[in-house]
């Protein structure tokens, strides 16, 4: 299966504005890329790049005053398989966890582990540890929160989402991740593309998506408390402790969004042909 992904975003800046963009495909996607991506900044601007502490690809540049367009487009080959499921996966004790998973157990900007530990154990302490406990968390969050794009708020924390019972995909991920961390299950935040592939088309504008991963006995597993069903065609852009680590665009100055278009669609082999 071939999947075309990309975006067309326009901002307006009153003055020269330094920007950090995490708008690339994650390096882990490299082997799947069939038509390479590139970040176009119009007007043309010099971009320098680096890999952050979580392995995400980042670009640095300064936007000139006025309208600036950010555009990217790529084609990847996907297996067409749904998210990996393993109901028999077990939970490791903390002393058996790999060192690089420990930071995904502790509190972070949007995940108040200290505030929710008692709640988590009251809700899920009787559920068998491992896959069943993680799935119980996803089932709970899926039913507890109401998805409402108009209620999006970039300062909402996991505990606030729990209290308000509303949010968008990042809130579903933050709440589920926090509950998992409270239960000693490493959980990390993911952002990227998730199109309407293998499901009926959703009559709403396409956006970037958020989900999370948990570490069980044999590695990391993709989980999605918002949709709560295995999906096809997730395309990863960045991972971190929570949304604060994977902001797709950070502007060090004021900016105004004028256009925001995202695509993630299954395509045929003709998508690989040179443009005429």
Tell me the Ramachandran region of residue 219: left when phi exceeds 0, alpha when psi lies from -120 to 50, beta otherwise.
left
pLDDT for 92-138, tens place per residue? 999 999 999 999 999 999 999 999 999 999 999 999 999 999 999 99
The pLDDT value recorded for residue 90 is: 98
The pLDDT value recorded for residue 203 is: 82
Same fold for the pair 2-80+248-270 and 94-244: no
Average pLDDT over residues 247-264: 94
The DSSP bridge partners found for residue 192 are 209, 236
The DSSP bridge partners found for residue 5 are 74, 264
Nearest residue to 21 via CA among 64, 71, 75, 66? 71
Per the CB < 8 A criterion, the answer to whether 65 and 94 are in contact is no
pLDDT at residue 18 above 80? yes
pLDDT for 141-170, tens place per residue? 999 999 999 999 999 999 999 999 999 999
pLDDT for 203-213, tens place per residue? 888 899 999 99
Nearest residue to 162 via CA among 145, 139, 177? 145
pLDDT at residue 276 above 60? no
2-80+248-270 classified as CATH 3.40.50.150: no
Average pLDDT over residues 235-249: 97
Model confidence at 202, pLDDT cuts 50, 70, 90, reads confident
pLDDT for 164-186, tens place per residue? 999 999 999 999 999 999 999 99
The pLDDT value recorded for residue 275 is: 56
Q: Report the chain's mean pLDDT, rounded to a whole number.
A: 96
**CA angle, 25 as apex, 47 and 57 as ends, to 5°?**
50
154 burial type by CB count under 10 A (0-12 exposed, 13-18 middle, 19+ buried): exposed
Q: Where are the domains of the chain?
A: 2-80+248-270, 94-244
Residue 72 phi, psi dihedral angles, 5° rounding: -150, 150
Per the CB < 8 A criterion, the answer to whether 186 and 228 are in contact is no
At residue 218, the 3 state secondary structure works out as coil
> Would the CA dihedral through 203, 209, 212, 213 be positive or negative?
positive
Contacts of 162-166 with C-beta under 8 Å, sequence gap 24+, read 162/116, 162/119
User: Angle, to 10 degrees, between the axis of helix 113-124 and the axis of helix 169-182?
Assistant: 80
At residue 26, the 3 state secondary structure works out as coil
Per the CB < 8 A criterion, the answer to whether 200 and 229 are in contact is no
**CA angle, 105 as apex, 103 and 108 as ends, to 5°?**
70
The pLDDT value recorded for residue 50 is: 97
pLDDT at residue 64 above 70? yes
CATH of 94-244 among 3.40.50.2300, 3.40.50.150, 3.10.620.30, 1.20.1090.10? 3.10.620.30
Q: How far is CA 39 from CA 7, 75, 111, in A?
A: 10, 14, 31
**What is the rounded CA–CA span in Å between residue 272 and residue 36?**
10
**What is the rounded CA–CA span in Å between residue 177 and residue 140?**
12
Q: Are strands 66-77 and 17-21 parallel, antiparallel or unpaired?
A: unpaired
């Amino acid at each position: 299966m071939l999947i075309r992904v990309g975006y067309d975003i326009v901002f307006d800046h009153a003055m020269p504005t330094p920007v950090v963009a995490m708008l690339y495909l994650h390096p882990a996607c490299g082997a799947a890329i069939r038509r390479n991506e590139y970040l176009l900044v119009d007007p043309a601007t010099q971009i320098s790049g680096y890999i952050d502490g979580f392995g995400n690809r980042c670009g640095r540049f300064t936007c000139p005053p006025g309208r600036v367009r950010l555009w990217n487009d790529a084609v990847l080959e996907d297996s067409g398989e749904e998210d990996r499921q393993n109901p028999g996966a077990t939970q490791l004790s903390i002393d058996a966890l790999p060192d690089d998973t420990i930071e995904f157990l502790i509190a972070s900007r949007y995940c108040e582990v200290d505030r929710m530990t008692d709640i988590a154990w009251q809700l899920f302490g009787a559920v068998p540890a491992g896959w069943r406990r993680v799935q119980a968390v996803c089932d709970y969050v899926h039913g507890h929160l109401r998805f409402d794009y108009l209620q999006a708020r970039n300062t909402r924390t996991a505990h606030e989402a729990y209290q308000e019972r509303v949010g968008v995909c990042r809130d579903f991920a933050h709440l589920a991740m926090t509950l998992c961390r409270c239960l000693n299950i490493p959980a990390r935040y993911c952002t990227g593309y998730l199109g309407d592939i293998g499901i009926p088309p959703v009559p709403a504008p396409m956006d970037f998506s958020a989900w999370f991963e948990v570490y069980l006995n044999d590695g990391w597993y993709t989980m999605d408390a918002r949709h709560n069903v295995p999906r096809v065609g997730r395309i990863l852009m960045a991972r971190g402790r929570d949304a604060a680590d994977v902001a797709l665009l950070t502007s060090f100055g004021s900016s105004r969004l004028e256009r925001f278009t995202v695509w993630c669609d299954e395509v045929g082999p003709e998508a690989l042909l040179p443009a005429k």
